[in-house]
Amino acid sequence: MQTKQNLSWKIGGEAGFGIKSAGMMLAKIFMKTGYETFDYTEYPSLIRGGHNTYQVMVDALEVNSVTREVDILVALNKETIDLHRDELNFGSMVIYDKDKISNIRAVKGINFLPIALTTLAKQAGGELMRNVVALGATLAVLEQPRNIADQVIKETFGSKGGEVIKNNLLALALGYKEAKKVYQEKFICSLPPQKKNNNILIAANEALALGAVANGLNFYAGYPMTPSSSILQYVASIAEKVGIVFKHAEDEISVINMCLGAAHVGARAMTATSGGGFALMTEALGLAGITETPLVIVDSQRPGPATGLPTWTEQGDLQFMLHAAPGDFPRIIMAPGDTREAFQMGAEALNLAEIYQTPVIILLDKFLSEGSSTVPEFSTHGLKIKRGKLLSQEQLNKLSKFERYKLTVDGISTRSLPGMKNGLFIANSDEHDSGGYSSENAQNRQQQVDKRAAKLQSFAKVMPEPVIYGHPKAKKTVVVWGSTKGPVLDAYRLLSKKQQSNIKILQLQYIWPLATNFVSNALRHSKQILLIENNSSAQLGQLIAQETGIIIKNKLLKYDGRPFFREEIIKALSKL
């Protein structure tokens, strides 16, 4: 029987069953075994009950997507088997709790492995550890040694004390031994140890936060909203240690105004939210624009509108970010395509915000935000704090007259900070003259609008180009942004060499300003274009049409709250 060196593992059960904990431990175990992992969780907006799943993809090569197909399904309740039965394929396995689940109808080619998870868990110290017993059974089926797993158990439960660690180690051992007893065949997935690597296991939320922390973040005001909350919680957890002022404020309107107050006096400020929270922030977004105050705002998207699907994924806010707030003013919009880019952009956004003295928006979504994946340890080598035209006291003293909003060719004026002598100005929500005084003068208004707009053009001239993967001269172009990068690249790697040679993938990392010429050229020289987006109205497609005149007719759109599964992309790419 042919084996494969990758795994799609999914555990399911009610909230409170330790689904996530088991999943994270499995991912860590395989990371330490030298594999790349990528995880994806589905959970309803509940604290207890409901149906939760945690899926871990394991591969020797980099993996940034999930398959619909599952090789091992761990069922802590019957509902899990019922709901995911059709994701199983020939050779797959279902490990289930035989103490709680009975009368499973056999399916040809699928291995059903009943393990007394409840009994064994109780033996180890408590029913709550059924997830760890199942983890042990999984590792036995995959013929993994136990040493790394034991190490991960110790690290995971380290803070809970010796008794808890002991019980969980026992739970793992019992599950392992039982599975070894009951299943002695060779499973379709074979995962021998790989060369050790210097990876970490991290989700885009924490990665982005780390990037910002590395590059000088020192003020964070926030308000929780799924799926951005782990950014808030992570920054809160390290704030005192690294010297960041952190405030959980009363609402999102307070959050953004607080960040602006801090940025105004010279802090590097950031906040994160989801679409609904951003909606509350929009007036202040415009305020940042007109006062030319730097600010970084992360929108981790989820299906909307209104409360929508709080715990699911979508790329539905792109058009919203482009247009949020009344009036015309410059904003920069970035969209990381994976965890590594999230780190880089978390750092870079703080620089861009200060250089162009304008709000910078970073778009994530639940799929990236809450999906941990293995990445090489982040390096701060090459990171540099760039504060743009921020004047020092010495420079201010040399000026005969300081004008905060002086008209310049590139649109960017010099900047003082409150506390500095000779630098007085008004950061004015009204339209204002070059000193910041409220002004209703017609010529001044036009000049200030043009000045602010010029800043965006200045950035457009120097911004990084969109990225091309595959064969640069290929005539079939697939257009992606944000989290569709992962599934598309993973699918591309599985195509035949011939198919690959005909396809290139165009990834837009900067949504605004749009690299109009680059995109235009890439698309005009294509014989076929496929746009892949996780929303119902092809929001990037609309932007491309608006800016280049090119209307992409061939679109793969998904908006059921789920991310693209690899199979869906493979099918679409094969049709090109």
Partner 1 sequence: MTNKNMLTDKDFLTKQKPTWCPGCGNYAIWIAMRQALAELNLDPHKVLIVYGVGCSGNDTNFIKTYAWHSLHGRTLPTAIGAKLANKDLTVIAMGGDGDGYGEGLGHFLHAIRGNVNVTYIVHDNKVYGLTTGQTAPTSDRGFKSKSTPEGTLDTAVNPIALSLAQGASFVARGFSGQAEHLKNIFKAAILHQGFSLVDVFQPCVTFNKINTFKWFFDRLYNLDEKKDFSKTNFQQALAESMIWGEKIPYGVFYQDQKPEYVASLTQLQGLALVKRPMKVRDITKLMYEFK
Q: How far is the CB of 434 from partner 1 (least distance, A)?
A: 14
- Tell me the three state secondary structure of residue 410: coil
- Tell me the three state secondary structure of residue 231: helix
* Per-residue x/- track, 378-407, partner 1 (CB under 8 A): x-x--xxx-x--------------------
- Separation of alpha carbons 28 and 36, rounded Å: 10
Place of tokens 């989820």: 302
Stretch that binds partner 1, among 81-89, 327-335, 413-421, 464-472 (CB under 8 A): 413-421
Q: Which residue, 208, 305, 221, 214, is CA-closest to 257?
A: 221
- Does 269 contact partner 1 by CB under 8 A? yes
Q: What are phi and psi of 173, to 5 degrees?
A: -65, -40
What is the token pair recorded at 442? 């017609």
- Does 110 contact partner 1 by CB under 8 A? no
- Separation of alpha carbons 513 and 175, rounded Å: 54
- Does 283 contact partner 1 by CB under 8 A? yes
Q: How far is the CB of 318 from partner 1 (least distance, A)?
A: 25
**Preceding amide of 464 cis, omega within 30:** no
What is the token pair recorded at 399? 């000026």
Q: What are phi and psi of 481, to 5 degrees?
A: -150, 155
- List Cβ<8 Å contacts ≥24 apart for 554-560: 554/528, 554/529, 554/530, 555/530, 555/531, 556/530, 556/531, 556/532, 557/532, 557/533, 558/533, 558/534, 559/303, 559/314, 559/316, 559/534, 559/535
- Does 260 contact partner 1 by CB under 8 A? yes
Single residue of 15, 110, 407, 420 touching partner 1 by CB under 8 A = 420
- Does 51 contact partner 1 by CB under 8 A? no
For residues 535 and 314, the answer to whether their CB atoms sit within 8 Å is: yes
For partner 1, which is the closer residue by CB, 246 or 559?
A: 246
- Does 259 contact partner 1 by CB under 8 A? yes
* Per-residue x/- track, 169-208, partner 1 (CB under 8 A): -------------------------------xxx---x--
What is the token pair recorded at 294? 């730097």
Single residue of 227, 289, 304, 423 touching partner 1 by CB under 8 A = 423
- Does 427 contact partner 1 by CB under 8 A? yes
Whole-Å CA distances, 215 to 99, 201, 343, 379, 531:
52, 21, 10, 11, 34
List, as one string, the DSSP characters of 438-471. B---HHHHHHHHHHHHHHHHHHHHHSPPPEEEE-
Query: Considering only residues 131-160, where is the footprint of partner 1 by CB under 8 A?
Result: none
Q: How far is the CB of 511 from partner 1 (least distance, A)?
A: 26
Query: Considering only residues 210-249, where is the footprint of partner 1 by CB under 8 A?
Result: 210, 213-216, 218-219, 221, 238-240, 242-245, 247, 249
- Does 287 contact partner 1 by CB under 8 A? yes
Q: How far is the CB of 325 from partner 1 (least distance, A)?
A: 11
Single residue of 104, 110, 426, 494 touching partner 1 by CB under 8 A = 426
Q: How far is the CB of 270 from partner 1 (least distance, A)?
A: 12
Single residue of 267, 335, 412, 544 touching partner 1 by CB under 8 A = 267
For partner 1, which is the closer residue by CB, 419 or 472?
A: 419
- Separation of alpha carbons 319 and 282, rounded Å: 13
Q: How far is the CB of 358 from partner 1 (least distance, A)?
A: 17
The contact set with partner 1 (CB under 8 A) reads 200-202, 206, 210, 213-216, 218-219, 221, 238-240, 242-245, 247, 249-251, 253-255, 257-269, 283-284, 287, 291, 377-378, 380, 383-385, 387, 417-430, 436-438
